[in-house]
A and B are shown apart, each in its own frame.
Chain A
Amino acid sequence: GQNIDQPTEMTATEGAIVQINCTYQTSGFNGLFWYQQHAGEAPTFLSYNVLDGLEEKGRFSSFLSRSKGYSYLLLKELQMKDSASYLCAVSDSNYQLIWGAGTKLIIKP
């Protein structure tokens, strides 16, 4: 079956760095997405990786290793507004998105 695993919850301190991991097993691979979802709101797009390596976008970076079925989202200089759930999703061989359950990130002052 298809499976996306990510930690349920993480806690970090304002100003610090946090890495959220995602491992996947899917039938085919057409890219991996990270989305941010604040409580009571819709998910919003953060990043997309289809080739191995690191993609940097401001304070956020996303890494992909297709051979290991592994990705991480790196958040630097954490701010209180980064408190949210972070969703990992893989586009499978049919371009359907398979979603992880999300990682709730709690930022403490």
Chain B
Amino acid sequence: NAGVTQTPKFQVLKTGQSMTLQCAQDMNHEYMSWYRQDPGMGLRLIHYSVGAGITDQGEVPNGYNVSRSTTEDFPLRLLSAAPSQTSVYFCASKGQPDSGNTIYFGEGSWLTVV
């Protein structure tokens, strides 16, 4: 039961470097999203997708890009890493975009930008 798989688990980047966080789900979910979690703050939505070929911005999209070429994959790209992007990142998915269905999370990616 793979569920939502995201990699890498830990990453250290230098300011200005770029990288991609990978996310894949095997539950045939239409809705996928990326959150960041910072101490003392709730999960904040970066980008989301309601199906292949469709993406939209969340609450904190600046500095991040996404694409959704397949139902399964939803990578998050950091274009030019900044120390403010040091955070824990979670990929998540749920079955129907317009529903109250529960959301399932990947294990998280701990990113440090120095």
Interface of A with B (CB < 8 Å)? 4, 8, 30-31, 33, 40-45, 48, 50, 87, 89, 91, 95-102
Contacts and interface: CB of A to CB of B under 8 A. Distances in A.
Given A31-B100, A42-B90, A50-B100, A99 B106 contact: no
A43 B102 CA distance: 11
Given A87-B42, A96-B45, A42 B108 contact: yes
Interface residues of B, number: 20
B107 A41 contact: yes
Nearest to A30: B100
Given A45-B104, A101-B42, 20 more contacts: A8-B40, A31-B100, A33-B102, A41-B107, A41-B108, A42-B105, A42-B107, A44-B105, A45-B102, A45-B103, A50-B100, A87-B43, A89-B43, A95-B97, A95-B100, A96-B48, A96-B58, A99-B44, A101-B40, A101-B41
Contacts of B99: 95
Nearest to A29: B100
A100 B40 CA distance: 9
B42 A48 contact: no
Contacts of B44: 99
Contacts of A102: 42
What 3 pairs across the A-B complex have the smallest Cβ distances? Answer: A99-B42, A31-B100, A42-B105
Contacts of A91: 100
